[in-house]
Amino acid sequence: MPPDAERERGRAADTPRPATPPRASLPSTEESNPATARLDELDARGIVAAMHTADLDAWRALEPALDRIAAVVDATAAAFRRGGRLIWVGAGTSGRLGVLDASECPPTFGVDPSRVVGVIAGGDRALREAIEGAEDRVDEGVAAIAALDVAAADIVGGIAASGTTPFVRGALVEARRRGAVTVLITSNERLDDGAVLAVVDHRITLAVGPEVIAGSTRLKCGTATKMALNAISTAAMVRCGRVFGNRMVDLVATNAKLRRRSRRLVAELAGVDEERAAEYLEAAGGEVKVAILCACRGLDVATAQSALARADGVLRRALAESSAAES
């Protein structure tokens, strides 16, 4: 072969061929991203810059979905008020994100761990390693919902980048059969799986587009999903009165940092010094809202607890009602 022909053939081998046009049913997260088609030729700075730029797609994906996210917030707050639970279900990265969100709610908002639950295909071991075939087991998704004794008071959120994960589908079908409110969070804007959509009350689509590395949904898709989960659980807790202003007044002080934060909260919100705040907190058994009510309204602990109970745990309402009772 002539040298020029050899050079041309070598050049052709080094140059990626144009991507095959995607099938209409293929999730966009499985497509090749033209912006990162030569990712392996970049240096470290170039790779992280490309990833940083791509992550803006995750941020942008939430804005068109805000109304649907807000609807899920209202549904979640309603579930909490009727004594129900928020249950996240997913496989792989999606499952890990759900478990993470659930595990962060108790220390941040003082909610019982049983009220926000994360379920991952393959069980706890799957948090640290891939469990072969776990996401493909429809029956195990059904069994997970049955094991939790899901009921009509609950809300079950399936997290699946493709929207078609069998484990998640099984969980949603069983949750709907039991009367629970159902949610699907996906990044597949082309999803047309009637079997899934027929059992979903709320569908949130986070259209992040092709991933930095085709099919690696722990990247943009995972980032957008984490933001959506943060928004849902946090906003629902705010709506249920577990935040005052922007302060986490239902926090559980499980370490020195959080104990200091509790003292600071009482001092700042009640207008007392930290030494006095510590005394109120000790009398209140560490309950920040009770301590604030005692400090602001001169109530004893039992009366403050009763005032909070009448106000459904909402500090702002309890402060207003206590003030009205005084006048």
Cβ atoms of 293 and 318 within 8 Å: the answer is yes
**Nearest-5° Cα angle at 201, 199 to 207:** 100
Tell me the three state secondary structure of residue 119.
strand
Tell me the three state secondary structure of residue 316.
helix
Q: What is the DSSP letter of 179?
A: T
CA distances from 20 to 14, 31, 39, 54, 84 (A): 17, 9, 18, 22, 47
Diameter of the chain by CA atoms? 100
| Catalytic residue set | 104, 135
Tell me the three state secondary structure of residue 93.
helix
CA 255 vs. chain centroid, Å, equals 24
Cβ atoms of 307 and 299 within 8 Å: the answer is yes
Q: Which of 273, 303, 306, 308 is nearest to 288 (CA)?
A: 308
Tell me the three state secondary structure of residue 243.
coil
